[in-house]
């Protein structure tokens, strides 16, 4: 199978590396020092499941050198998405599937606006991985799974073929009960933790163990639940208590990628997380006062939180996921 990995950071580097090791023809699109290191030394992956190297990894910054593929693994962060979409045309053939992996619920629509819904496979990556150094990916934990489905959740031959290929390469690909339900469930988990963690400068443990902060977490989750229902997304009536129970299982010292990026002055996913709740709430006429407040506070505190798009930067094509 011919596969292009657009964004060879934590997610793209790990999953693409596994697929290359499984015998597939994988091309990694990267830039700068990361690209040079992959070309010179191969793609190196340090993993809790065993280190490995793709010694002859094909890497380029020109999608035209790759040409049409069977699958594009779109593994950039949300703030890089517009630039990445502009690189898609040379990779697309009549049957190319584009698998989205972004945290958030707007990315599949954003990609579909350019390539059409039939080409898009909405996906959910669950992994803690990052670029440790140019040419080197570090996988620190998480299920290391990649769930995906057709837009309408209808079973298809191409999805089954891809799941079989991923599974054979050592990648867990659980079939989602409903891809949109699961996308929103993850959204409901990461967005309140990210926004409140950044606003309160608090770890996961501090958020969940401080009664007032824990109540804010639940309130923020319920705002997202209401927006999901207004958008006719099926979510369980127990989505908030189940998500809070999952929060209780996380390491107390953990923080989200959004919080870390804001504190470090890096480009962030604030607009795709908290900003998306505000936008979608307004479109559905659902009040989301807590997320509106968080958006106002965080954009005032971090004036560069919504940066102009700046391409696939060397060494920053991806970061830790949460």
What are the structural domain ranges in the chain?
2-177, 180-301
**pLDDT value of residue 307:** 58
Beta strands in 34-102 (DSSP E): 43-47, 52-54, 58-60, 71-74, 97-100
**Cα torsion angle, 212, 214, 216, 222, sign:** negative
Check if the beta carbon of residue 210 is closer than 8 Å to that of residue 203.
Answer: no
Token pair belonging to 183? 């996308």
Check if the beta carbon of residue 23 is closer than 8 Å to that of residue 56.
Answer: no
The span from the CA of 139 to the CA of 136, in Å, is 10
User: What is the number of helices (H) and of strands (E) in the chain?
Assistant: 12, 9
The span from the CA of 117 to the CA of 109, in Å, is 8
**pLDDT value of residue 128:** 85
pLDDT in 10s for each residue of the chain, 322 residues: 999 999 999 999 999 999 999 999 999 999 999 999 999 999 999 999 999 999 999 999 999 999 999 999 999 999 999 999 999 999 999 999 999 999 899 999 999 999 999 999 999 999 888 899 999 999 988 889 999 999 999 999 999 999 999 999 999 999 999 999 999 999 999 999 999 999 999 999 999 999 999 999 999 999 999 999 999 999 989 999 999 999 999 889 988 889 989 998 888 999 999 999 999 999 999 999 999 999 999 999 998 877 543 333 333 333 333 3
Backbone φ and ψ of 288, nearest 5°: -135, 60
The span from the CA of 270 to the CA of 1, in Å, is 35
CATH, range 2-177:
3.40.50.720
Exposure on the CB side of residue 183, measured as CA atoms within 13 A: 24
**pLDDT value of residue 310:** 37
Residue 202: name the closest of 153, 245, 262 by CA. 262
The span from the CA of 160 to the CA of 27, in Å, is 22
Radius of gyration of the chain (CA): 19
Domain 180-301 has CATH 1.10.1040.10: yes
DSSP conformational letter for 170: T
**pLDDT value of residue 312:** 36
**pLDDT value of residue 232:** 94
Backbone φ and ψ of 112, nearest 5°: -60, -30
The span from the CA of 143 to the CA of 170, in Å, is 12
Query: Residue 46, exposed/middle/buried by CB under 10 A (0-12, 13-18, 19+)?
Result: middle
């Amino acid at each position: 199978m011919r596969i292009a990995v657009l964004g060879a950071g934590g997610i793209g580097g790990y999953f693409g590396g596994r697929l290359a090791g499984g015998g597939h023809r994988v091309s990694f699109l990267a830039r700068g020092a990361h690209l040079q290191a992959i070309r010179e030394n191969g793609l190196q992956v340090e993993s809790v499941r065993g280190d490995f190297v793709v010694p002859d990894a094909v890497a380029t910054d020109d999608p035209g050198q790759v040409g049409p593929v069977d699958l594009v693994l779109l593994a950039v962060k949300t703030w890089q998405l517009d630039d990445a979409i502009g690189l898609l045309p040379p990779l697309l053939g009549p049957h190319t599937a584009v698998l989205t992996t972004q945290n958030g619920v707007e990315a599949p629509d954003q990609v579909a606006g350019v390539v059409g819904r039939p080409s898009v496979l909405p996906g959910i990556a669950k992994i803690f991985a990052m670029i440790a150094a140019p040419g080197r990916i570090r996988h620190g934990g998480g299920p290391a799974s990649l769930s995906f489905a057709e837009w309408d959740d209808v079973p298809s031959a191409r999805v089954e073929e891809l799941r079989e290929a991923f599974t054979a390469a050592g990648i867990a690909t659980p079939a989602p009960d409903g891809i949109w339900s699961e996308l929103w469930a993850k959204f409901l988990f990461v967005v309140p933790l990210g926004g409140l963690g950044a606003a309160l400068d608090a770890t996961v443990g501090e958020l969940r163990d401080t009664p007032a902060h824990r109540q804010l977490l639940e309130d923020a989750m319920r705002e997202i639940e209401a927006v999901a229902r207004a958008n006719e997304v099926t979510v369980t009536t127990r989505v908030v208590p189940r998500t809070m129970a999952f929060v209780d299982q996380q390491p107390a010292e953990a923080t989200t990628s959004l919080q870390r990026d804001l504190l470090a002055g890096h480009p962030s996913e604030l607009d795709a997380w908290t900003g998306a709740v505000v936008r979608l709430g307004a479109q559905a006429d659902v009040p989301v006062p807590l997320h509106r407040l968080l958006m106002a506070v965080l954009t005032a505190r971090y004036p560069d939180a919504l940066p102009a798009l700046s391409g696939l930067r060397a060494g920053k094509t991806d970061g830790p996921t949460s």
